[in-house]
Structure 1
């Protein structure tokens, strides 16, 4: 299901517009002309809640892009449900730019090599942040290797840290799917934390920000192990006008309004490149080994 909070747009050819204007002898750019871009992403929450989170950031990005481009820029918002649908938006060119998880970006780039990284999110001054393998606060477990024979809660099946990096962490400790008593994918990180806190699972993987929020709210969990994960890339569709793409990229790097970024839980943008997600590719490449000899 798609929630489109805009009308679709068409960008006219500048050369054609100038030619017509010269022919009829009027100003080649109408006073109300503007560049209209569409940002699209999946909505893990209610669409109205996602709009409230995204709109302040998109408004600041539109303002900064207008300054760089020297033209009025409007950014419209399209939301869909689910990781796969969010990836399809940018792969199919249905939106101009998006925000993806690292694993989703890797899959999208495989499907559409023309995608390009505009910038990476700045999280506390870094291009990476912590994933947490959490256990109950009163658990006797003190090392990842001790999870053998215990139950484990992962996030989404397409989650970078909720699946790929947490399963890689287990493999590096000598543990595979067959070594767990049971496991399941719970989707959201908060569900993982609450499931561990309530004793439904012995351990689970979630991002550190969510972990800290749950602890502050009294959920009885503690960190067993921390691992690093690249921050999210903001990605431009294949075929986006290079002039607009470059202006949008510069605009992202110019954004410093922390109030506008607060709801999205990051602090600005860094320059980024496809190579920043090579560790994610490697985690995905190795992932089938986690399920080897599964009985």
Structure 2
């Protein structure tokens, strides 16, 4: 009888594990309503590929994405470089498993309202940006804060507050573009893929705002999964998730990111981000 009871309990556990929903989120680097529409389709794709229910869980901020990951409210996230490092520090054993093809050599664009007269397309961040107002994106954005601040400090040997007349944080890349276009801020730092996507979509008035400098490249966004996922969803589940991401070829799904496809990634790929984060006090 005991072995029958044991088998019954094992079967019930297997059913429970199979029924458990796999949840993921994405840092809110663009308008939230767009993200919900796009990533819900990604959830449907992953559900079909993995054979479990998959749910996209929207969050209100970059910090909220990291908190949800730490608290096991989500099991995977589409993080930026910095938030990914933060999340993996908080949840030992977590792994970066895939990045966009563009993310191995990502860039930030410094954009300026044309009325500033700042010369465009310079080989280095123009000295003319001094004493103008400037906005970052979110406070823990890799492409909208971490790396732009690093490049500002590298160029001027001063923190942003001593270079610019006023420094702000817009919250996301789309908002940064809108604030610079309107003249609320003279200059801003943005994720280059968001800029190019919004320009192509006709959402940017390029008669008012333009790119004045393109940064050197660095590693950025990635999918990070919790280290306990295999225990909960079955041996090899992390590999299945990774393969499903690498096999994602539908342009409509890739538009959610936007990326041309995904390639394998590892925690070691983000050592440069960790180093920069520590150097300017955003990581321990």
TM-score range, shorter chain: 0.7 to 0.9
Cα offset, 1:218, TM superposition: 1.6
Q: Is the 8 A contact 2:137 2:189 kept in 1?
A: yes
Q: Is the 8 A contact 1:153 1:192 kept in 2?
A: yes
Give the number of the structure whose residues are more often strand, by fraction: 1
Distance in 2 (alpha carbons) for counterparts of 1:182 and 1:118: 38
Instruction: Tell me the secondary structure at the aligned position of residue 152 of structure 1.
Output: strand
Cα offset, 1:18, TM superposition: 8.6
Q: Is the 8 A contact 2:30 2:172 kept in 1?
A: no
The residue that corresponds to 1:157 in the other structure is 139
Counterpart of 2:228 (choices 210, 230, 239) is: 239
Number of equivalences: 261
Structure 1 stretches lacking a partner, 5+ long = 1-14, 66-71, 290-295
- Corresponding position: 1:140 with 2:96: no
Q: Is the 8 A contact 1:190 1:214 kept in 2?
A: no
What whole-Å deviation, never above 9, does each CA across 1:154-188 have from its counterpart, x for those lacking one?
11111111111111111111142223211111112
Distance in 1 (alpha carbons) for counterparts of 2:59 and 2:209: 32
- Which has the larger displacement, 185-194 or 157-166? 185-194
Q: Is the 8 A contact 2:95 2:225 kept in 1?
A: yes
Structure 2 stretches lacking a partner, 5+ long = 120-124
Instruction: Tell me the secondary structure at the aligned position of residue 205 of structure 1.
Output: strand
The TM-score normalised by the length of structure 1 is 0.77
Instruction: Tell me the secondary structure at the aligned position of residue 92 of structure 2.
Output: coil
Cα offset, 1:226, TM superposition: 0.8
Cα offset, 1:145, TM superposition: 2.7
Q: Is the 8 A contact 1:64 1:255 kept in 2?
A: no
Cα offset, 1:17, TM superposition: 9.7
Distance of aligned partners of 1:22 and 1:45 in 2 relative to their CA distance in 1, 3 Å threshold: closer
Alignment of 1:174-193 (within 5 A): 174=156, 175-176=158-159, 177-193=161-177
The residue that corresponds to 1:221 in the other structure is 209
- Corresponding position: 1:282 with 2:275: yes
Query: For the aligned residues, what is the CA RMSD?
Result: 3.0
Q: Is the 8 A contact 1:161 1:229 kept in 2?
A: no
Distance in 1 (alpha carbons) for counterparts of 2:9 and 2:182: 68
Cα offset, 1:239, TM superposition: 1.1
Distance of aligned partners of 1:172 and 1:45 in 2 relative to their CA distance in 1, 3 Å threshold: closer
Distance in 2 (alpha carbons) for counterparts of 1:116 and 1:63: 23
Q: Is the 8 A contact 1:144 1:173 kept in 2?
A: no
- Which has the larger displacement, 232-241 or 38-47? 38-47
The residue that corresponds to 2:122 in the other structure is none
The residue that corresponds to 1:293 in the other structure is none
What whole-Å deviation, never above 9, does each CA across 1:24-68 have from its counterpart, x for those lacking one?
xxxx988xx666422234556776543311122222223233xxx
Alignment of 1:1-295 (within 5 A): 19-20=7-8, 36-43=21-28, 49-65=34-50, 72-123=51-102, 127-142=104-119, 143-174=125-156, 175-176=158-159, 177-212=161-196, 213-214=198-199, 216=202, 217-219=204-206, 220-227=208-215, 228-241=217-230, 242-288=235-281
